[in-house]
Structure 1
Amino acid sequence: MIKKISAEKIKELRIKTGAGMMDCKKALEVSEGQVDLAIENLRKKGLASADKKSSRIATEGLIESYIHAGSRIGVLVELNCETDFVARQIKFQHLAKNIAMQLAACQSVEYISINDIPKEVVLKETDIESAKEDITNKTEIVKKQIVAGRINKRLKELSLMDQQFIKNTDISIEELVKQHIVLLGENIKIRRFQRFLLGEGLERKSNNFAKEVSEIIQKT
Protein backbone atom coordinates (compact mmCIF):
# COMPACT_ATOMS: atom_id res chain seq x y z
CA MET A 1 0.00 0.00 0.00
CA ILE A 2 1.36 3.41 -1.03
CA LYS A 3 1.94 5.72 1.90
CA LYS A 4 -0.14 8.93 1.76
CA ILE A 5 2.10 11.94 1.21
CA SER A 6 1.19 15.27 2.75
CA ALA A 7 0.99 18.46 0.69
CA GLU A 8 3.54 20.04 3.06
CA LYS A 9 6.15 17.38 2.23
CA ILE A 10 5.52 17.75 -1.49
CA LYS A 11 5.93 21.52 -1.18
CA GLU A 12 9.14 21.08 0.86
CA LEU A 13 10.63 18.76 -1.77
CA ARG A 14 9.61 21.08 -4.59
CA ILE A 15 11.31 24.04 -2.91
CA LYS A 16 14.49 22.03 -2.35
CA THR A 17 14.74 20.54 -5.86
CA GLY A 18 12.70 22.75 -8.19
CA ALA A 19 11.06 19.61 -9.60
CA GLY A 20 7.38 19.51 -10.64
CA MET A 21 4.63 18.74 -8.14
CA MET A 22 3.79 15.32 -9.62
CA ASP A 23 7.48 14.34 -9.84
CA CYS A 24 7.89 15.29 -6.16
CA LYS A 25 4.78 13.32 -5.18
CA LYS A 26 5.96 10.20 -7.05
CA ALA A 27 9.49 10.49 -5.62
CA LEU A 28 8.11 10.72 -2.08
CA GLU A 29 5.81 7.76 -2.65
CA VAL A 30 8.71 5.64 -3.91
CA SER A 31 10.88 6.71 -0.95
CA GLU A 32 7.98 6.18 1.49
CA GLY A 33 8.03 9.80 2.56
CA GLN A 34 11.79 10.08 3.14
CA VAL A 35 12.72 13.51 1.78
CA ASP A 36 16.50 12.89 1.55
CA LEU A 37 15.97 9.69 -0.43
CA ALA A 38 13.42 11.42 -2.65
CA ILE A 39 15.93 14.20 -3.39
CA GLU A 40 18.57 11.62 -4.33
CA ASN A 41 16.14 9.82 -6.66
CA LEU A 42 15.09 13.07 -8.32
CA ARG A 43 18.72 14.02 -8.88
CA LYS A 44 19.46 10.68 -10.52
CA LYS A 45 16.39 11.02 -12.72
CA GLY A 46 17.29 14.59 -13.59
CA LEU A 47 20.92 13.82 -14.45
CA ALA A 48 19.86 10.95 -16.73
CA SER A 49 17.31 13.18 -18.48
CA ALA A 50 19.82 16.02 -18.84
CA ASP A 51 22.46 13.71 -20.31
CA LYS A 52 20.06 12.79 -23.13
CA LYS A 53 19.77 16.46 -24.10
CA SER A 54 23.48 17.29 -23.79
CA SER A 55 24.27 16.57 -27.45
CA ARG A 56 21.63 18.94 -28.80
CA ILE A 57 22.81 22.17 -30.43
CA ALA A 58 22.51 25.28 -28.25
CA THR A 59 23.16 28.56 -30.08
CA GLU A 60 20.70 30.92 -28.40
CA GLY A 61 21.05 32.33 -24.88
CA LEU A 62 22.52 35.45 -23.38
CA ILE A 63 25.63 37.19 -22.11
CA GLU A 64 25.34 37.99 -18.42
CA SER A 65 27.45 40.36 -16.36
CA TYR A 66 28.14 40.57 -12.67
CA ILE A 67 29.91 43.42 -10.89
CA HIS A 68 30.69 42.73 -7.25
CA ALA A 69 30.06 45.36 -4.57
CA GLY A 70 32.86 47.91 -4.66
CA SER A 71 33.28 47.49 -8.44
CA ARG A 72 36.66 45.75 -8.05
CA ILE A 73 35.61 42.40 -9.57
CA GLY A 74 33.59 41.87 -12.75
CA VAL A 75 32.55 38.85 -14.80
CA LEU A 76 31.07 38.30 -18.25
CA VAL A 77 29.66 34.85 -19.07
CA GLU A 78 27.93 33.47 -22.17
CA LEU A 79 25.23 30.91 -21.40
CA ASN A 80 23.64 29.08 -24.33
CA CYS A 81 20.30 27.31 -24.76
CA GLU A 82 18.37 26.04 -27.77
CA THR A 83 15.70 28.72 -28.24
CA ASP A 84 15.17 32.42 -27.64
CA PHE A 85 12.01 31.50 -25.73
CA VAL A 86 14.05 29.77 -22.99
CA ALA A 87 16.67 32.53 -23.06
CA ARG A 88 13.94 34.97 -21.98
CA GLN A 89 12.82 32.81 -19.07
CA ILE A 90 13.53 34.24 -15.59
CA LYS A 91 14.92 30.88 -14.38
CA PHE A 92 17.45 30.83 -17.24
CA GLN A 93 18.47 34.42 -16.53
CA HIS A 94 18.86 33.67 -12.82
CA LEU A 95 21.06 30.69 -13.70
CA ALA A 96 23.30 32.93 -15.80
CA LYS A 97 23.55 35.45 -12.94
CA ASN A 98 24.39 32.72 -10.42
CA ILE A 99 27.12 31.34 -12.69
CA ALA A 100 28.60 34.83 -13.09
CA MET A 101 28.59 35.27 -9.29
CA GLN A 102 30.23 31.86 -8.90
CA LEU A 103 33.03 32.89 -11.24
CA ALA A 104 33.59 36.08 -9.24
CA ALA A 105 33.84 34.04 -6.04
CA CYS A 106 36.08 31.27 -7.39
CA GLN A 107 39.36 32.94 -8.32
CA SER A 108 41.12 29.64 -9.02
CA VAL A 109 38.69 28.66 -11.82
CA GLU A 110 40.22 29.08 -15.26
CA TYR A 111 38.28 26.61 -17.42
CA ILE A 112 34.66 25.53 -17.84
CA SER A 113 35.33 21.81 -17.40
CA ILE A 114 38.25 19.45 -16.89
CA ASN A 115 37.94 18.43 -20.56
CA ASP A 116 38.79 22.02 -21.54
CA ILE A 117 42.11 22.05 -19.69
CA PRO A 118 45.00 21.90 -22.23
CA LYS A 119 47.32 18.88 -22.10
CA GLU A 120 50.32 21.13 -21.50
CA VAL A 121 48.69 22.47 -18.33
CA VAL A 122 48.04 18.92 -17.09
CA LEU A 123 51.65 17.95 -17.85
CA LYS A 124 52.99 21.03 -16.09
CA GLU A 125 50.91 20.34 -12.97
CA THR A 126 52.05 16.70 -13.06
CA ASP A 127 55.70 17.77 -13.20
CA ILE A 128 55.18 20.12 -10.24
CA GLU A 129 53.52 17.45 -8.11
CA SER A 130 56.04 14.76 -9.08
CA ALA A 131 58.94 16.96 -7.95
CA LYS A 132 57.61 17.67 -4.45
CA GLU A 133 59.91 16.60 -1.64
CA ASP A 134 57.26 14.85 0.45
CA ILE A 135 56.99 11.99 -2.08
CA THR A 136 60.67 11.68 -3.01
CA ASN A 137 61.24 8.56 -0.90
CA LYS A 138 58.00 6.83 -1.88
CA THR A 139 57.95 3.79 -4.17
CA GLU A 140 57.04 4.48 -7.81
CA ILE A 141 53.61 2.88 -7.43
CA VAL A 142 52.77 4.91 -4.33
CA LYS A 143 54.23 8.05 -5.89
CA LYS A 144 52.03 7.64 -8.99
CA GLN A 145 48.94 7.14 -6.85
CA ILE A 146 49.66 10.26 -4.78
CA VAL A 147 50.41 12.37 -7.86
CA ALA A 148 47.26 11.14 -9.63
CA GLY A 149 45.13 12.05 -6.61
CA ARG A 150 46.68 15.50 -6.33
CA ILE A 151 46.34 16.17 -10.05
CA ASN A 152 42.69 15.17 -9.98
CA LYS A 153 42.11 17.59 -7.10
CA ARG A 154 44.04 20.37 -8.83
CA LEU A 155 42.16 19.98 -12.12
CA LYS A 156 38.84 20.17 -10.25
CA GLU A 157 40.01 23.42 -8.65
CA LEU A 158 40.55 24.84 -12.16
CA SER A 159 37.18 23.59 -13.47
CA LEU A 160 33.97 25.62 -13.06
CA MET A 161 31.69 22.59 -13.48
CA ASP A 162 33.37 20.83 -10.55
CA GLN A 163 32.87 23.68 -8.08
CA GLN A 164 30.36 23.45 -5.26
CA PHE A 165 27.53 25.92 -5.93
CA ILE A 166 28.08 28.81 -3.50
CA LYS A 167 24.35 29.10 -2.75
CA ASN A 168 23.86 25.36 -2.18
CA THR A 169 27.06 23.43 -1.47
CA ASP A 170 25.20 20.11 -1.71
CA ILE A 171 25.39 20.35 -5.50
CA SER A 172 28.06 21.19 -8.07
CA ILE A 173 27.76 23.72 -10.88
CA GLU A 174 27.42 20.78 -13.28
CA GLU A 175 24.43 19.49 -11.29
CA LEU A 176 22.97 23.01 -11.14
CA VAL A 177 23.11 23.30 -14.94
CA LYS A 178 21.62 19.83 -15.41
CA GLN A 179 18.77 20.65 -13.04
CA HIS A 180 17.91 23.61 -15.26
CA ILE A 181 18.16 21.46 -18.40
CA VAL A 182 15.44 19.26 -16.91
CA LEU A 183 13.46 22.22 -15.61
CA LEU A 184 13.51 24.18 -18.89
CA GLY A 185 13.53 21.20 -21.28
CA GLU A 186 16.50 22.33 -23.38
CA ASN A 187 20.22 21.75 -23.53
CA ILE A 188 22.18 24.44 -21.67
CA LYS A 189 25.88 25.12 -22.12
CA ILE A 190 28.31 27.51 -20.47
CA ARG A 191 30.27 28.57 -23.54
CA ARG A 192 32.87 31.05 -22.25
CA PHE A 193 33.63 33.58 -19.55
CA GLN A 194 35.97 36.43 -18.74
CA ARG A 195 36.86 37.65 -15.26
CA PHE A 196 38.14 41.18 -14.58
CA LEU A 197 40.03 42.22 -11.44
CA LEU A 198 40.63 45.93 -10.91
CA GLY A 199 44.29 46.75 -11.54
CA GLU A 200 45.17 43.20 -12.56
CA GLY A 201 48.55 43.13 -14.29
CA LEU A 202 49.51 46.59 -13.10
CA GLU A 203 52.28 47.31 -10.63
CA ARG A 204 50.72 48.17 -7.29
CA LYS A 205 52.06 49.75 -4.13
CA SER A 206 50.30 47.10 -2.05
CA ASN A 207 51.16 43.42 -2.43
CA ASN A 208 47.95 42.36 -0.68
CA PHE A 209 45.52 42.72 -3.59
CA ALA A 210 44.78 38.99 -3.69
CA LYS A 211 43.97 39.13 0.01
CA GLU A 212 41.73 42.16 -0.53
CA VAL A 213 39.78 40.32 -3.25
CA SER A 214 39.38 37.27 -1.02
CA GLU A 215 38.07 39.42 1.84
CA ILE A 216 35.57 41.12 -0.46
CA ILE A 217 34.20 37.76 -1.70
CA GLN A 218 33.86 36.42 1.87
CA LYS A 219 31.62 39.35 2.76
CA THR A 220 29.13 38.36 0.05
Structure 2
Amino acid sequence: PPKVTISATLVKQLREETGAGMMDCKKALAETDGNLEKAQEYLRKKGLSSAEKKSGRLAAEGRIASYIHDSRIGVLIEVNCETDFVARGEIFKQLVDDLAMQVAACPQVEYISVEDIPESITRKERELELQREDLQSKPENIREKIVDGRVSKRLAELTLLEQPFIRDDSLLIKDLVKQTVATLGENIRVRRFVRYTLGEKESNEPNNDA
Protein backbone atom coordinates (compact mmCIF):
# COMPACT_ATOMS: atom_id res chain seq x y z
CA PRO A 1 0.00 0.00 0.00
CA PRO A 2 1.19 3.53 -0.73
CA LYS A 3 2.75 5.35 2.21
CA VAL A 4 0.83 8.24 3.72
CA THR A 5 2.48 11.59 3.10
CA ILE A 6 3.22 13.19 6.45
CA SER A 7 2.77 16.95 6.26
CA ALA A 8 5.13 19.34 8.04
CA THR A 9 2.07 20.85 9.75
CA LEU A 10 1.21 17.50 11.31
CA VAL A 11 4.79 16.97 12.48
CA LYS A 12 4.81 20.48 13.98
CA GLN A 13 1.51 19.84 15.76
CA LEU A 14 2.77 16.55 17.23
CA ARG A 15 5.98 18.25 18.36
CA GLU A 16 4.05 21.05 20.05
CA GLU A 17 1.74 18.62 21.81
CA THR A 18 4.40 16.17 22.97
CA GLY A 19 7.71 18.07 22.92
CA ALA A 20 9.32 15.03 21.24
CA GLY A 21 12.11 15.45 18.64
CA MET A 22 11.29 16.07 14.97
CA MET A 23 12.62 12.72 13.70
CA ASP A 24 10.75 10.84 16.44
CA CYS A 25 7.54 12.67 15.50
CA LYS A 26 7.99 11.86 11.79
CA LYS A 27 8.61 8.18 12.59
CA ALA A 28 5.61 8.04 14.95
CA LEU A 29 3.32 9.54 12.30
CA ALA A 30 4.70 7.23 9.60
CA GLU A 31 4.14 4.18 11.83
CA THR A 32 0.55 5.23 12.60
CA ASP A 33 -0.51 6.36 9.08
CA GLY A 34 -0.63 10.00 10.10
CA ASN A 35 -3.05 9.46 13.00
CA LEU A 36 -2.21 12.13 15.58
CA GLU A 37 -3.70 10.34 18.60
CA LYS A 38 -2.07 7.03 17.73
CA ALA A 39 1.23 8.83 17.12
CA GLN A 40 1.08 10.33 20.62
CA GLU A 41 0.40 6.86 22.05
CA TYR A 42 3.29 5.46 19.98
CA LEU A 43 5.68 8.08 21.39
CA ARG A 44 4.45 7.43 24.91
CA LYS A 45 4.98 3.67 24.63
CA LYS A 46 8.34 4.12 22.96
CA GLY A 47 9.47 6.52 25.64
CA LEU A 48 8.34 4.64 28.74
CA SER A 49 11.38 2.36 28.69
CA SER A 50 13.69 5.36 28.64
CA ALA A 51 11.91 7.33 31.40
CA GLU A 52 14.25 5.90 34.04
CA LYS A 53 17.38 6.80 32.03
CA LYS A 54 16.20 10.38 31.71
CA SER A 55 15.83 10.85 35.48
CA GLY A 56 19.53 11.71 35.87
CA ARG A 57 19.50 14.59 33.39
CA LEU A 58 19.45 18.20 34.51
CA ALA A 59 15.99 19.72 34.68
CA ALA A 60 16.47 23.48 34.96
CA GLU A 61 13.54 24.86 32.94
CA GLY A 62 9.88 24.44 33.85
CA ARG A 63 6.86 26.23 35.23
CA ILE A 64 5.49 27.63 38.46
CA ALA A 65 1.73 27.22 38.70
CA SER A 66 -0.87 28.32 41.21
CA TYR A 67 -4.23 26.88 42.12
CA ILE A 68 -6.75 28.56 44.39
CA HIS A 69 -9.81 26.66 45.61
CA ASP A 70 -12.82 28.64 46.77
CA SER A 71 -10.56 31.48 48.06
CA ARG A 72 -9.72 29.22 51.03
CA ILE A 73 -6.86 27.00 49.85
CA GLY A 74 -3.97 28.25 47.73
CA VAL A 75 -1.13 26.23 46.20
CA LEU A 76 2.10 27.25 44.47
CA ILE A 77 4.12 24.51 42.80
CA GLU A 78 7.35 24.43 40.79
CA VAL A 79 7.91 21.61 38.30
CA ASN A 80 11.11 21.42 36.26
CA CYS A 81 11.87 20.03 32.81
CA GLU A 82 14.94 20.26 30.55
CA THR A 83 13.94 22.72 27.83
CA ASP A 84 11.88 25.86 27.45
CA PHE A 85 10.21 24.24 24.41
CA VAL A 86 8.66 21.50 26.57
CA ALA A 87 7.87 23.96 29.40
CA ARG A 88 5.68 25.97 26.99
CA GLY A 89 3.87 22.90 25.62
CA GLU A 90 0.28 22.01 26.51
CA ILE A 91 1.10 18.55 27.91
CA PHE A 92 3.61 19.91 30.44
CA LYS A 93 1.29 22.80 31.37
CA GLN A 94 -1.53 20.32 32.01
CA LEU A 95 0.72 18.17 34.21
CA VAL A 96 1.76 21.15 36.35
CA ASP A 97 -1.85 22.34 36.69
CA ASP A 98 -2.96 18.82 37.67
CA LEU A 99 -0.20 18.59 40.28
CA ALA A 100 -1.19 21.96 41.80
CA MET A 101 -4.80 20.74 42.06
CA GLN A 102 -3.62 17.45 43.58
CA VAL A 103 -1.71 19.29 46.34
CA ALA A 104 -4.83 21.35 47.12
CA ALA A 105 -6.94 18.18 47.31
CA CYS A 106 -4.56 16.33 49.65
CA PRO A 107 -4.12 18.34 52.86
CA GLN A 108 -2.11 15.53 54.49
CA VAL A 109 0.63 15.75 51.83
CA GLU A 110 3.72 17.54 53.14
CA TYR A 111 6.56 16.06 51.09
CA ILE A 112 7.26 15.32 47.43
CA SER A 113 8.72 11.81 47.83
CA VAL A 114 9.34 9.31 50.63
CA GLU A 115 13.07 10.12 50.38
CA ASP A 116 12.28 13.71 51.44
CA ILE A 117 10.75 12.67 54.77
CA PRO A 118 13.13 13.40 57.68
CA GLU A 119 14.49 10.39 59.58
CA SER A 120 12.97 11.78 62.79
CA ILE A 121 9.43 11.48 61.32
CA THR A 122 10.08 7.91 60.17
CA ARG A 123 11.43 7.00 63.61
CA LYS A 124 8.42 8.56 65.36
CA GLU A 125 5.92 6.71 63.13
CA ARG A 126 7.77 3.46 63.83
CA GLU A 127 7.68 4.01 67.59
CA LEU A 128 3.94 4.75 67.47
CA GLU A 129 3.24 1.57 65.49
CA LEU A 130 5.36 -0.61 67.82
CA GLN A 131 3.26 0.54 70.78
CA ARG A 132 -0.06 -0.54 69.26
CA GLU A 133 -1.86 -3.12 71.38
CA ASP A 134 -2.72 -5.44 68.49
CA LEU A 135 1.00 -6.15 67.99
CA GLN A 136 2.00 -7.00 71.55
CA SER A 137 1.07 -10.70 71.31
CA LYS A 138 2.81 -11.22 67.94
CA PRO A 139 6.30 -12.81 67.61
CA GLU A 140 9.01 -10.19 67.06
CA ASN A 141 9.80 -11.08 63.42
CA ILE A 142 6.09 -10.91 62.49
CA ARG A 143 5.73 -7.68 64.44
CA GLU A 144 8.63 -6.09 62.52
CA LYS A 145 7.06 -7.00 59.16
CA ILE A 146 3.68 -5.59 60.14
CA VAL A 147 5.30 -2.38 61.43
CA ASP A 148 7.36 -2.03 58.21
CA GLY A 149 4.18 -2.32 56.14
CA ARG A 150 2.21 0.15 58.24
CA VAL A 151 5.03 2.71 58.37
CA SER A 152 5.51 2.50 54.57
CA LYS A 153 1.78 3.07 54.09
CA ARG A 154 1.76 6.02 56.49
CA LEU A 155 4.81 7.66 54.88
CA ALA A 156 3.26 7.22 51.42
CA GLU A 157 0.18 9.12 52.65
CA LEU A 158 2.42 12.12 53.40
CA THR A 159 4.01 12.30 49.94
CA LEU A 160 2.73 13.77 46.68
CA LEU A 161 4.28 11.19 44.33
CA GLU A 162 2.59 8.26 46.11
CA GLN A 163 -0.95 9.73 45.92
CA PRO A 164 -3.62 8.25 43.64
CA PHE A 165 -4.25 10.83 40.87
CA ILE A 166 -7.53 12.69 41.56
CA ARG A 167 -8.59 12.43 37.90
CA ASP A 168 -7.80 8.69 37.68
CA ASP A 169 -7.22 6.86 40.95
CA SER A 170 -5.82 3.78 39.20
CA LEU A 171 -2.73 5.93 38.55
CA LEU A 172 -0.27 7.16 41.17
CA ILE A 173 1.20 10.64 40.72
CA LYS A 174 4.69 9.16 40.24
CA ASP A 175 3.30 7.07 37.33
CA LEU A 176 1.61 10.14 35.84
CA VAL A 177 4.98 11.95 35.93
CA LYS A 178 6.74 8.91 34.38
CA GLN A 179 4.17 8.75 31.59
CA THR A 180 4.72 12.45 30.86
CA VAL A 181 8.51 11.92 30.85
CA ALA A 182 7.94 9.15 28.31
CA THR A 183 5.66 11.27 26.13
CA LEU A 184 7.87 14.37 26.19
CA GLY A 185 11.26 12.65 26.17
CA GLU A 186 12.64 14.85 28.96
CA ASN A 187 13.39 14.48 32.63
CA ILE A 188 10.68 16.07 34.81
CA ARG A 189 11.11 16.85 38.48
CA VAL A 190 8.60 18.14 41.00
CA ARG A 191 10.84 20.65 42.75
CA ARG A 192 8.75 22.15 45.56
CA PHE A 193 5.29 23.23 46.59
CA VAL A 194 3.62 25.30 49.27
CA ARG A 195 0.01 25.16 50.42
CA TYR A 196 -1.84 27.94 52.23
CA THR A 197 -5.08 27.23 54.07
CA LEU A 198 -7.15 30.20 55.21
CA GLY A 199 -6.86 30.79 58.96
CA GLU A 200 -4.20 28.11 59.43
CA LYS A 201 -1.31 29.03 61.72
CA GLU A 202 2.33 28.46 60.81
CA SER A 203 4.10 26.35 63.43
CA ASN A 204 6.50 29.24 64.19
CA GLU A 205 3.81 31.93 64.13
CA PRO A 206 3.04 33.66 67.47
CA ASN A 207 -0.51 33.44 68.78
CA ASN A 208 -1.77 37.01 68.37
CA ASP A 209 -5.48 36.29 68.11
CA ALA A 210 -7.54 38.83 70.04
Where do 5+ consecutive residues of structure 1 fail to align?
1-17, 26-38, 204-220
1:92 aligns to what SS in structure 2? Answer: helix
Q: Which whole-Å CA distance do the structure 2 matches of 1:176 and 1:23 have between them? A: 27
1:1-220 equivalences under 5 Å are 46-68=47-69, 70-201=70-201
- Between 1 and 2, higher relative CO (CA 8 Å, sep ≥ 6) is seen in 2
TM-score (normalizing by structure 2): 0.74
Aligned residues: 171
Change (3 A) 1:129 1:22: farther
Tell me the CA shift for residue 44 of structure 1. Answer: 7.5
Tell me the CA shift for residue 111 of structure 1. Answer: 0.7
The CA RMSD over aligned residues, in Å, is 2.6
Q: Counting helix residues as a fraction of each chain, which structure ranks higher?
A: 1
Q: Which whole-Å CA distance do the structure 1 matches of 2:80 and 2:133 have between them? A: 45
Change (3 A) 1:61 1:153: same
1:171 aligns to what SS in structure 2? Answer: strand
Change (3 A) 1:47 1:161: farther
Aligned residue number for residue 30 of structure 1? none
Q: Which amino acid aligns with 1:81?
A: C
Q: Which whole-Å CA distance do the structure 1 matches of 2:45 and 2:77 have between them? A: 28
> Percent of aligned pairs with the same residue?
53
Cα deviation, 1:167-203, whole Å, max 9, x if unaligned, reads 0112111111111111112111000000110000288
TM-score (normalizing by structure 1): 0.71
Aligned residue number for residue 6 of structure 1? none
Q: Which whole-Å CA distance do the structure 1 matches of 2:99 and 2:130 have between them? A: 34
Q: Which whole-Å CA distance do the structure 2 matches of 1:80 and 1:182 have between them? A: 15
Q: Which whole-Å CA distance do the structure 1 matches of 2:176 and 2:30 have between them? A: 18
Judge conservation of contact 1:58–1:80 (CA < 8 Å) in 2. yes
Q: Which amino acid aligns with 2:75?
A: V
Q: Which whole-Å CA distance do the structure 1 matches of 2:131 and 2:46 have between them? A: 43
1:161 aligns to what SS in structure 2? Answer: coil
Where do 5+ consecutive residues of structure 2 fail to align?
1-17, 19-24, 33-40
